[in-house]
Structure 1
Amino acid sequence: MKIIYHCFGGSHSSVVAAAIHLGLVGKDRPPTLEELMALPYFDKTTNADFGSIRFMGVDKNENEVYVLGKKSLGDRYSHIIMGVAGILGYQDEVMAINCINSVNWIMKIGGFMSRRAGIISLGRPIVGWGTQDAYLDLVRLVEITKLKITGIGTAK
């Protein structure tokens, strides 16, 4: 299975969800800002990264995990990816997970300041704090995703 976590910028919620999925951060407590900054891609995307599906790793069940920033496409991105996967005959091997519902206003402000306005020294701690506040929501999203992968709780 190929799992693509996506969000507006591909720099915060999708990266953290993918990291949770891969076990790069624990589920028991929010990571520190230093732990967040050690994650691949966290608060590091540029305009050139938008629309690029970036590999994060392989989970213990050999599922490939990716992240993507898709700007304002919202759930339309999931529909596009699943449509292309269906055309190619791989619909049962791809999952597109929208992380935007786990993003809080603190993350939005910090992400805007850091990534778009370029005020990294102020925006990064704010987006880190917002990510820590949203962390349990991201853990839940990943747990639901893992259940869907195994077919538990889904209609087949």
Structure 2
Amino acid sequence: MIYIYNDYGGTHTTSLAAAYHLKQLPQSELKLSTREILNVNYFNKLTKKDFGKLIYHGIDEDKNPVYTIGRKSSKLVVPALKDLTLLLQSRHQFDETIIFSNTSPTVPIVMSIGGFFSRGLKIDFIGVPLLVMGAKQCCDQIFRLVENTKQTGKTGKATNGQKVIVLDNKIYK
């Protein structure tokens, strides 16, 4: 199993999701502290050159690798990666199940604004506090999204015998 969390920038909700997945954050729906948020690997650290790159975060407790990707506004990235995976599976006996889990539904507007100021305009003194505020608003939703993603990995089956699962997700309340 390979897990790939994806969203627009790949540096905020995806990094938090990877950290929850890898148990680098408290495994609960409690609000995170500012320190916990800012200490998450890759949180608000990726740049424009990192868009479209798979970022490796680690191996989970079941020995599954966890990645993130920033796909910008392209709706084509995940379908293209799905098709590539299916091609590899059919042509080269690549037998690994891959789960693409979209974290975008968890992003509050304040996080989008903070990301624009911090990553887009390089104005961290405005952007970072907004990002932290947004992360605190959505951390419980991200935690539940990760739990759902992991549960799908343990019990879910891809359609038509294919070993690719795409989770568009929703807000988990």
| Identity value in percent | 30
Partner secondary structure for residue 73 of structure 2: helix
The amino acid across from 1:27 in the alignment is Q
Shift of 1:81: 1.4
What is residue 43 of structure 1 aligned with on the other side?
44
Shift of 1:153: 8.6
The amino acid across from 2:120 in the alignment is R
Kept in 2, the 8 Å contact 1:85–1:91? The answer is: no
In the TM superposition, what are the counterparts of 1:113-128 in structure 2 within 5 Å? 113-128=117-132
What is residue 62 of structure 1 aligned with on the other side?
63
Higher helix share: 1
Kept in 2, the 8 Å contact 1:50–1:68? The answer is: yes
CA RMSD of aligned residues (A): 1.8
Question: 1:31-84 CA distances to partner (integer Å, 9 max, x unpaired)?
Answer: 21221111111001111111110100100000100111110024x322221111
Kept in 1, the 8 Å contact 2:2–2:96? The answer is: no
Question: 1:74-131 CA distances to partner (integer Å, 9 max, x unpaired)?
Answer: 4x32222111111000475211111101111011011111100111111011111101
Kept in 2, the 8 Å contact 1:6–1:97? The answer is: yes
TM-score (normalised: structure 1): 0.92
Q: 1:144 to 1:91 in 2, by over 3 A?
A: farther
What is residue 24 of structure 1 aligned with on the other side?
24
**Large movers: runs of 4+ above 6 Å:** 153-156
Unaligned runs of 5+ in 2: 162-173
Kept in 1, the 8 Å contact 2:10–2:71? The answer is: yes
Shift of 1:17: 0.6
Kept in 2, the 8 Å contact 1:147–1:153? The answer is: no
Q: 1:86 to 1:21 in 2, by over 3 A?
A: same
In the TM superposition, what are the counterparts of 1:1-156 in structure 2 within 5 Å? 1-28=1-28, 29-74=30-75, 76-89=76-89, 90=94, 92-151=96-155
Kept in 2, the 8 Å contact 1:17–1:142? The answer is: yes
TM-score (normalised: structure 2): 0.83
2 CA distance for matches of 1:95 and 1:132? 26
Kept in 2, the 8 Å contact 1:7–1:100? The answer is: yes
2 CA distance for matches of 1:70 and 1:91? 25
The amino acid across from 2:97 in the alignment is E
Partner secondary structure for residue 52 of structure 1: coil
Give the number of equivalent residue pairs: 155
